[in-house]
Amino acid sequence: MNLFKRLFNPTVKTIYKVLFLVFLTILVTYLVFKTGGTKGAWAQLYFMTIILAAYYWRTVGGLFVAFVMGFIVGPFMPLDVSQGIMQTPENWMIRMLVFMIIGFFAGYILKNVDDINGQMKEKDLIHQSTGLYNTNKLFPILDELFERNEKICLIFFQIRNFEEISKYVHSSIMNNLIQQCILTIQSKYKGNELYSSNYNEFILALNGCNHCEINHSVCEELKDLLKSIQIGNYSFHLIIKVGIAYSDGRHLNSLDLVEKARIAASQGQNFESGVYIYDPAFDQKWRFYYEIAGSIQAAIDQNELYLVYQPIII
């Protein structure tokens, strides 16, 4: 893996690109010369090198290579090799100008494509309801921390009664409520990015943290979140579940850790706020419960259940 990274780091990749363009330029120059000079159509192959340079380094690369190509195929390249006729200055300077125009516009168009792709990718990383980065952004960051064997603490905030509140107030008020919650959490964890997996679920990833300190601080900060939030003429009391999961440098992936934090937040009574640490026993209990529930439903669907009367013997 380390060898692979060394072979394909940005500096080495740039060297490969330069060498490939040099090879391509030499090859095209050889073909142009061997086919009689610039009077033939082979000189148009330089466009391939120019566009490739624009692809690698956008406008600056396209312009620079276009200038170099125009100079190479300019005063030093005969118009007709067999008769020894050289090009006039006007001839090769106009060709150089055309090359540079092609290099500029190729780089400009490719840069615009990059910008559009970047905007689309950025849009995929942002949750539309909250404006925060979503798990598409969080997962790669967590995976990178796992590769470095970092100790990670994932704090999962779930606001249980958002859906009930949204039935009775306007969507603009709900948006304000969401933003108030986000600002409250961010004010307590300055310097740490807050992510959103749903409109009512927020995630914090802390690395190099102390278990006891985190547990205590989250319990204290939950008190501020539970205070009534005033928006216009409305006063809201939120029911918040907080789930905490630790990686402790163990071999996990990002999805596993988020699921553990979500499972931790599902502990306790449904409509009772609280802070909960991930407990494998609770996880196994609920998995068993869902397996039993699924088996019973399957038995009902297949008519496998029947009634048995137990006689009473006196």
Q: CA geometry: angle at 266 spanning 224 and 129, to 5°?
A: 65
Under a CB-based contact definition with an 8 Å cutoff, are residues 107 and 58 in contact? yes
Predicted confidence (pLDDT) at residue 151 exceeds the cutoff of 90:
no
Under a CB-based contact definition with an 8 Å cutoff, are residues 93 and 74 in contact? yes
Specify the pLDDT at position 1: 47
Confidence of residue 250 (pLDDT cuts 50, 70, 90): low
Predicted confidence (pLDDT) at residue 4 exceeds the cutoff of 50:
no
HEC per residue, 203-233: EEEEECCCHHHHHHHHHHHHHHHCCCEEECC
Tokens 């988020």 locate to: 258
Predicted confidence (pLDDT) at residue 39 exceeds the cutoff of 50:
yes
State the Cα–Cα distance between residues 101 and 62, nearest whole angstrom.
9
Specify the pLDDT at position 3: 45
Specify the pLDDT at position 283: 65
- What share of the chain in percent tops pLDDT 90? 39
Q: Which two tokens stand for residue 254?
A: 């990002």
Predicted confidence (pLDDT) at residue 25 exceeds the cutoff of 80:
yes
Tell me: the pLDDT tens digits for 201-239? Answer: 999 998 767 666 677 677 777 777 777 788 888 888 888
Q: CA geometry: angle at 262 spanning 260 and 264, to 5°?
A: 70
Tokens 């807050």 locate to: 194
Out of 3.40.630.30, 3.30.40.230, 3.30.470.20, 3.30.70.270, select the CATH number for domain 135-301.
3.30.70.270
Confidence of residue 294 (pLDDT cuts 50, 70, 90): confident
Residues in a beta bridge with 240 = 159
Confidence of residue 137 (pLDDT cuts 50, 70, 90): very high
C-alpha 70 chain-centroid distance: 41
Tell me: the pLDDT tens digits for 111-121? Answer: 999 999 998 88
Out of 89-98, 139-148, 295-304, the most confident range is 89-98
Specify the pLDDT at position 56: 94
Tell me: the pLDDT tens digits for 123-136? Answer: 999 998 899 999 99
Q: Which of 174-178, 189-193, 216-220, 251-255 has the lowest mean pLDDT?
A: 216-220
Residues in a beta bridge with 277 = 244
Specify the pLDDT at position 7: 52
Under a CB-based contact definition with an 8 Å cutoff, are residues 231 and 171 in contact? no
Mean pLDDT taken over the chain: 86
Segments making up each domain of the chain, as ranges:
2-123, 135-301
CA nearest to 102, candidates 40, 43, 28? 43
State the Cα–Cα distance between residues 71 and 99, nearest whole angstrom.
10
